[in-house]
Amino acid sequence: MIALIYDSLLKLQLIVFKPEKLDWFDELEEEILKWEGTTVQLHKFGGTQFNFQNRELGHLHSNGVLDILFSKKIKAELMADGKVSEHHVFNKSGWVSFQIKAYTDVKRALELMQLAYHRAQK
Amino acid sequence: MKTFLNKRLLGFIIPNFIVITIIGINKMINPLSGGVLVFSEFVILPILMGIMSSWFWKALKVKSGSLVGYSILNGVIAILLSFIFLGEGSICLIIVSPLIFAFVITGAFLGRAMFNRNHKTLNVSFVTLLLAIFIVDSISEHHYENMVSDELIINAKPDKIWKNVVAFEKIKSPDQYWLFKVGMPSPMQTTVTANEIGAGRKCIFSNGYTFDEKIVVFDVNKNLTFDIVNQPQDPEIMGHIDIDRGQFILKDNGNGTTTLIGNSWYKLHVFPVWYYDLWAESVTRNVHLRVMDHIKVLSEK
């Protein structure tokens, strides 16, 4: 619950200082929900969780950090390209983090989520 | 369009009406609470309010930014209703507002997620659980006491400081603490009826309110302890906090300076304490420091 409250405070901060970011997050969610078999739910640590057939693909915190689960091999490739960073907590897993700072990052976030989605489909 | 507008409005009106009614009924059937505001009134009810609003707004496909904005508006309405119907003070409402906004927003997003999935059994179970927590919390005993201590070095010996500790003339320096600047009363003056145990002491605040105190320890140049026997019936503090005891300890440092320690003991009647005690400690600390800084100025003259 504390994580959900923290995420709400981040939303409160966004609505004051960068309200357009909430629209970007909605856009990302709407695009992902167009992919067959995807659903969203609240993430246990705050933010929006994206699922494919009830398995988590990733989640977006309200500070703009998108966490996505890949295999360690794909993670290594993405890290080598400098496209993502280590997950902000679980840095020894396949989780990666991508920070949405500008509107152009939404497109990149969608590409990463698509990669996770195609991987999950296999 | 008309239905949409109505649903939007109902998302503000109905949750606020239900929540203020629940608080009213709770006060009626539980009059012994004596104004104690429990955890669930600041946490569970705002979450329920957010969930209820999301139910009305589910067909409107409200964007996240609007949902946050609407939730803030809902919180503002709830705060205004508390001001009108529950007689809460404006400073109290400033203090409570971040908590209300955070929980209403949380409830609104919880509600949106719940109604998107539309798992009716789960949704009903969750709301029932929240109501059960509210009822159990409302009828449970709540008790919390704390002590705040501050210290200051004064460049004077205890015998020069003592008389300024027992009583002092009006503080004329401007308030520094932001809550005092926005209208919270700050300590102004202290008077005493006699220099002995059992004597009456008054701590007068900037709005004229007075704390009546009784001296219980009068150890000259060392320890002044007083019990608060009557505190003002101010809506900002009434039923929310009881200041029980105050104390000044003087420690001679042996080098011409004295360590002045100010202690206060209080009972808090608003919950959750992890939130309200932060404020209570901050206010108490700033009351201490305003008085102790004044004692320092008077004693170092």
Interface of A with B in 7-36 (CB under 8 A): 7-9, 11-12, 14-15, 19-20, 22-23, 25-26
Q: How far apart, in whole angstroms, are the C-alpha atoms of residue A14 and residue B102?
A: 13
DSSP 8-state secondary structure symbol assigned to residue B239? T
Superfamily of domain B145-299: START domain (3.30.530.20)
CA nearest to B64 within chain A: A22
Q: How many CB pairs under 8 A join A and B?
A: 50
The whole-number pLDDT of residue A89 equals: 78
The interaxial angle of helices B2-29 and B64-85, nearest 10 deg, is 40
Tell me which residue in B63, B98, B106 faces A26 most closely, judged by beta carbons. B63
Between CA B239 and CA B246, with CA B245 as vertex, the angle to 5 degrees is: 125
The whole-number pLDDT of residue B280 equals: 93
Segment A43-51 shows an average pLDDT of: 92
The whole-number pLDDT of residue A82 equals: 84
Tell me which residue in B69, B110, B117 faces A15 most closely, judged by beta carbons. B69
Neighbours of B180 (CB within 10 A): 20
Between CA B282 and CA B204, with CA B163 as vertex, the angle to 5 degrees is: 45
The interaxial angle of helices A72-80 and A104-121, nearest 10 deg, is 150
The whole-number pLDDT of residue B91 equals: 82
Please measure the distance between the N-terminal and C-terminal CA atoms of chain B and give it in whole angstroms.
73
Taking the Cβ of residue B102 and every Cβ of chain A, the question of whether any pair is shorter than 8 Å is answered with yes
Boundaries of every domain in chain B: 2-139, 145-299
pLDDT above 70 (res B170): yes
Residues of the domain holding A83: 2-121
Q: How far apart, in whole angstroms, are the C-alpha atoms of residue A113 and residue A58?
A: 8
Measured CA to CA in angstroms, residue B171 lies from A69, B67, B182, B206, B295 at distances of 61, 47, 18, 9, 9
Residue among B124, B143, B158 nearest B268 (CA): B143
Provide the greatest CA pair distance for chain A. Answer: 42
Q: Is B150 helix (H, G, I), strand (E, B) or coil?
A: strand
pLDDT band at B2 (very low <50, low <70, confident <90, very high): low
Q: What is the 3-state secondary structure (H, E, C) of A18-31?
A: CCHHHHHHHHHHHH
Domain count, chain A: 1
Segment B202-231 shows an average pLDDT of: 94
Please measure the distance between the N-terminal and C-terminal CA atoms of chain A and give it in whole angstroms.
34
CATH code, domain with A16? 3.90.1150.30
Tell me which residue in A22, A25, A41 faces B117 most closely, judged by beta carbons. A41
DSSP 8-state secondary structure symbol assigned to residue B246? E
In this structure, chain B runs to a length of: 301
ipTM value for the complex: 0.84
pLDDT band at B33 (very low <50, low <70, confident <90, very high): low
pLDDT above 60 (res B34): no
